Amino acid sequence: MTRTIDGNAVAADVRDDVAECVATLEAAGVTPGLATVLMSEDPASETYVSMKQRDCEEVGIEGIDVELDADAPAAELFETIDDLNAREDVHGILVQLPVPDHVDKRRVLRRIAPEKDVDGFHPENVGRLVAGDARFKPCTPHGVQKLLEAYDVETEGADAVVVGRSDIVGKPMANLLIQKSPVGNATTTVCHSRTEDLAGKLADADIVIAAAGMPEFIDGSMLKPGATVIDVGINRVDADTEKGYALVGDVDYESASEVAGAITPVPGGVGPMTRAMLLYNTVQAASLQHDVEIDL
Ligand code: NDP
């Protein structure tokens, strides 16, 4: 029997835990605050930010919603970040990516105070993750780890293949899986667009994390029977729906679910986890900044 890994259910549990942490922080006189900074007119980015603000409200985190004109000078964004870094009521700062072309993304990520960098993209936090001393784990790979944990997927000694090597998903995912720690200790291969014989690598994988952004390009025939398949991909494809499109993963769910031991759907798999882990990181940031112990 193939198990469907239900990201909505696990994310709801994480949100419940976060809400309890918020109550603990409140009792100590701290209201956790998350600032989102949007410098874009891209409708998808606008939607992501409004969802994050709504998520905050649901668990009692104070959302601070900052919007800048997409053609504002880069200096304005840097000043905004400096102000948020200095604010005591702001514990987490998230600059919605992508930023416009005239803004250097790397400078933006370096400008955010590492202790408020709830995305985990600041070089200091990347370094700490690699060194096995993570402060904030980036939300998507952290969410994947939570799913593996919730479904008792054995990572220790398992052969894991991560498809994709981006800074936000593939690289941190691989770094988490190789750590000498729970939900780690996997023998991990990272594949990318220059990988030769991806099919050969997948055929031996006990765990596949697909994060390439290629619609349904991994199918059941490429998987090892019984493998755990975590589909991070979110791809918009033309479809005969009201909106004229549908969202699909990197994995062909139908054929893969006949071979896999456990698999995440798209939507309803990794997506809700990414959102939940941002809330998790925000209460963690507040706890660290105010030295209030919480139970996460
Ligand atoms: P990027 O485009 O930054 O990275 C894609 C990676 O996939 C690259 O490393 C690329 O290789 C690799 N790749 C591309 N084609 C192939 C191929 N044919 N075979 C093997 N590897 C390939 O994407 P992201 O990491 O930002 O996102 C990946 C997917 O996950 C997207 O669909 C995105 O929408 C989704 N996503 C979902 C989230 C969620 O919450 N569910 C959160 C974040 C992203 P190379 O480096 O050589 O170019």
Nearest CA to ligand 1 atom 42: 140
Position 185 in a domain: yes
Structure confidence by residue, pLDDT tens digits, 268-294 = 999 999 999 999 999 999 999 999 999
| 152, 98: one domain | no
Q: How many Å apart are CA 92 and CA 117, to the nearest integer?
A: 6
Read off the CATH number of the domain in which 80 is found.
Answer: 3.40.50.10860
Q: Distance from CA of residue 198 to its chain's centroid?
A: 24
| 164, 111: one domain | no
Which H helix or E strand runs over 43? helix 43-59
pLDDT of 1 > 90? The answer is no
Q: How many Å apart are CA 33 and CA 86, to the nearest integer?
A: 13
CB atoms within 10 A of CB 83: 12
Position 15 in a domain: no
Residue 173, ligand 1, Cβ within 6 A: no
> How far apart are the CA of 17 and the centre of ligand 1, in A?
30
**Would the pTM of this model clear 0.85, i.e. be above it?**
yes
Mean of the per-residue pLDDT values of the chain: 98
Residue 164, ligand 1, Cβ within 6 A: yes
pLDDT value for 170: 98
- Count of domains observed in the chain: 2
Position 292 in a domain: no
| 206, 240: one domain | yes
Structure confidence by residue, pLDDT tens digits, 108-162 = 999 999 999 999 999 999 999 999 999 999 999 999 999 999 999 999 999 999 9
Domain that holds residue 53: 31-116
Residue 234, ligand 1, Cβ within 6 A: yes
Average pLDDT for residues 5-15, to the nearest whole number?
A: 98
Which of 275, 277, 282, 221 has the alpha carbon at shortest distance from 54?
A: 275
> How far apart are the CA of 159 and the centre of ligand 1, in A?
20
| 144, 255: one domain | yes
Which of 294, 296, 290, 292 has the alpha carbon at shortest distance from 90?
A: 290
Helices (H), 180-269: 198-203, 253-256
Structure confidence by residue, pLDDT tens digits, 47-94 = 999 999 999 999 999 999 999 999 999 999 999 999 999 999 999 999
> How far apart are the CA of 164 and the centre of ligand 1, in A?
5
| 96, 161: one domain | no
| 264, 151: one domain | yes
Which of 43, 54, 97, 50 has the alpha carbon at shortest distance from 245?
A: 43
pLDDT of 169 > 90? The answer is yes
Residue 97, ligand 1, Cβ within 6 A: no
Q: How many Å apart are CA 33 and CA 54, to the nearest integer?
A: 13
pLDDT value for 9: 98
- Known catalytic residue: 116? no
| 157, 112: one domain | no
Model confidence at 212, pLDDT cuts 50, 70, 90, reads: very high
| 218, 109: one domain | no
